[in-house]
Amino acid sequence: MLIHWISNISASKFKFPANYSKIVLYFIDPVLQNGALLSFSQQMQIRIINRLLFCTLTILAIGDPAAADTTPSIAHPPDAAYAKSPRDQQISEPKESDIPPLIIDPAVYDEPSNTGWQLYIDNDIFISPDIDRDYTGGFGLALTGLRAREWVFSLDRWLDSIDGLTGFQSLQLAEGGFSRHALEFGIILFTPEDITVSEARPNDHPYASLLFMANSQQAIFPEKKWALLSALTVGFIGLDFAGEFQAAIHDLTGSEEPAGWDNQISSGGEITGRYTVAGQKNLLSHYGGFSYELSGGIEGNVGITTDLNANISMRFGKLRSPWWSFNPHQSDYINLGQTLTSRIDERVLPAELFGWAGLKARYRIYNGFLQGQFRDSAVEFESDEIEDIIYEGWLGITKTWKSGFGLSFVIRGRTNEIKKPIGRNPIWSGFVLSFKG
């Protein structure tokens, strides 16, 4: 059924012969035909390729509900089109020569109150129904624009204070930049390999959860091709709600019911938080019929997870949004700190289709999801039982439409966090639905 459906899409959308699509899919998805012929590792590799191809064809086949994009290509992404917010009193207006010719409204220099939203859905079941362990899933909703700073319950004022104490704010307020803001709510979940056992499992990843809200603010310097980001996350670990939430999801998907949430890290609940600072530099870019960008960055975190890391990431394909508006590297499990450009004018942000990939090396100092926090937990690991160096990678595809909607699919993986023989290399995937306001 799957092969027949994708074959029809391929034939109608891309004018490929239907038989060609069938042949390709029979080769890349032998797990559906006879998985017993392959080892588990081979099956997992093929499943990953299949999921990525499946989601790529699905995104391509959806089509744009708006009219066809007849807008001429913009020579450069509209970095300079987005200028200072009221917060940045030290920042001067961009030069007229820096403004892309299609942008004529002076109001675009200020950050709009609402620049859009993004919905994140992560789950290891997207990779394989047989995997439900380690970082098993997460959900997040990010609301972007000046409203993220102005809401009563915003953490942005706390973030300003911490940025001032660390000296990071002086870097963000340097001349020649402008700022963007985001507020995110979400939950992330961790489980051991066998979730049907109610007893504590000391030789496996402990149950753990985080219910959080996070504020982030990003300062962009178009001429220097540099962006600085700070973020403050506040939440609770160990809440009973986490087990109830996963049980409800498993009930909907027909999966096994988790039985061991009473053994989670800090069971009963306690407050936690994290402070993040990061810098990203656009290293290489070309814009035309086929565009590409290469960026590199560094990041530091202090709190429930404490680490230093460096990353390199790239986008390639039909790019029309500025490089700083897409931050897949800003992720520790679920994505945090993503800001959005505003759909001020359809001519500014026409439809896009691009792939993206990246690598990150992380020096982990502390991980509260494994080591616990203040409360005693049924399963905890000592610092010498967890890996100091962790490598991560991701591969994704994004399609956006002139209507403002966007859809992404990503596969992420990292090296084991718990030292062997216990450790595994976790892998998961996720969807991102977005709308630019």
pLDDT band, residue 427 (cuts 50/70/90): confident
Q: What is the pLDDT of residue 341?
A: 62
The Cα 314–Cα 223 span in angstroms is 20
pLDDT band, residue 79 (cuts 50/70/90): very low
Highest mean pLDDT among 32-41, 82-91, 369-378: 369-378
For residue 94, is the peptide bond before it cis, meaning its omega torsion is within 30 degrees of 0?
Answer: no
Higher pLDDT, 268 or 257: 268
Task: Fill in the amino acid letter for 226.
Answer: W
403's tokens: 């209507």
Which position has the token pair 């990431």? Answer: 313
Report the percentage of the chain scoring pLDDT > 90: 46
Statement: residue 246 has pLDDT above 70: yes
- Ranges 68-77, 149-158, 348-357, 406-415: which has the least confidence: 68-77
Q: What is the pLDDT of residue 77?
A: 42
- How many other CB atoms are there within 10 angstroms of residue 124's CB atom? 21
Beta carbons of 168 and 228 less than 8 angstroms apart: yes
Higher pLDDT, 202 or 26: 202
Q: What is the pLDDT of residue 194?
A: 83
> Does the pTM of the predicted model rise above 0.75?
yes
- How many other CB atoms are there within 10 angstroms of residue 32's CB atom? 15
Shortest CA distance to 205 belongs to which of 193, 195, 187? 193
Q: What is the pLDDT of residue 349?
A: 58
Shortest CA distance to 244 belongs to which of 259, 254, 231? 259
What phi, psi does 162 have (nearest 5°)? -65, -40
Statement: residue 232 has pLDDT above 90: yes
Q: What is the pLDDT of residue 425?
A: 85
Higher pLDDT, 358 or 53: 358
Q: What is the pLDDT of residue 107?
A: 41
pLDDT band, residue 47 (cuts 50/70/90): low
Residue range 225-248: average pLDDT? 93
Domains of the chain: 2-62 (no CATH), 79-436 (2.40.128.140)
Cα angle value 299/184/206 (rounded, 5°): 70
Beta carbons of 65 and 403 less than 8 angstroms apart: yes
pLDDT band, residue 12 (cuts 50/70/90): very low
- Ranges 114-128, 174-188, 189-203: which has the least confidence: 114-128
Task: Fill in the amino acid letter for 99.
Answer: I
The Cα 185–Cα 215 span in angstroms is 9
What phi, psi does 29 have (nearest 5°)? -130, 50
The Cα 284–Cα 275 span in angstroms is 29
Residue 281 half-sphere exposure toward CB, CA atoms < 13 A: 6
pLDDT tens, position by position, 235-245: 999 999 998 98
Statement: residue 147 has pLDDT above 90: yes
The Cα 111–Cα 431 span in angstroms is 27
How is residue 418 annotated by DSSP?
B
pLDDT band, residue 126 (cuts 50/70/90): low
Statement: residue 24 has pLDDT above 80: no
The Cα 46–Cα 28 span in angstroms is 6
The Cα 140–Cα 36 span in angstroms is 37
Beta carbons of 323 and 353 less than 8 angstroms apart: no
280's tokens: 């990203």
Q: Which residues contact 269 (CB under 8 A, 6 or more apart)?
A: 236, 237, 238, 239, 240
The Cα 218–Cα 324 span in angstroms is 9
pLDDT tens, position by position, 272-297: 999 999 999 999 999 888 999 999 99
- Ranges 9-23, 194-208, 309-323: which has the least confidence: 9-23
Q: Where would I find the H helices in 167-268?
A: 168-172, 240-253
Q: What is the pLDDT of residue 369?
A: 94
Looking at the DSSP bridge assignments, the partners of residue 275 are 232, 302
The Cα 376–Cα 265 span in angstroms is 8
Report the percentage of the chain scoring pLDDT > 70: 70
Higher pLDDT, 135 or 48: 135
- Chain mean pLDDT for the chain: 77
pLDDT band, residue 255 (cuts 50/70/90): confident
How is residue 226 annotated by DSSP?
E
Q: What is the pLDDT of residue 111?
A: 84
Higher pLDDT, 53 or 148: 148
- Ranges 64-78, 156-170, 360-374: which has the least confidence: 64-78
- Three-state SS string across 275-343, please? EEEEEEEEEEEECCCCEEEEEEEEEEEEECEEEEEEEEEEEEEECCCCHHHCCCCCEECEECCCCCCCC
431's tokens: 């969807």
Higher pLDDT, 126 or 290: 290
Looking at the DSSP bridge assignments, the partners of residue 414 are 392
CA separation, residue 319 to residues 57, 78, 185, 343 (Å) = 19, 11, 28, 15
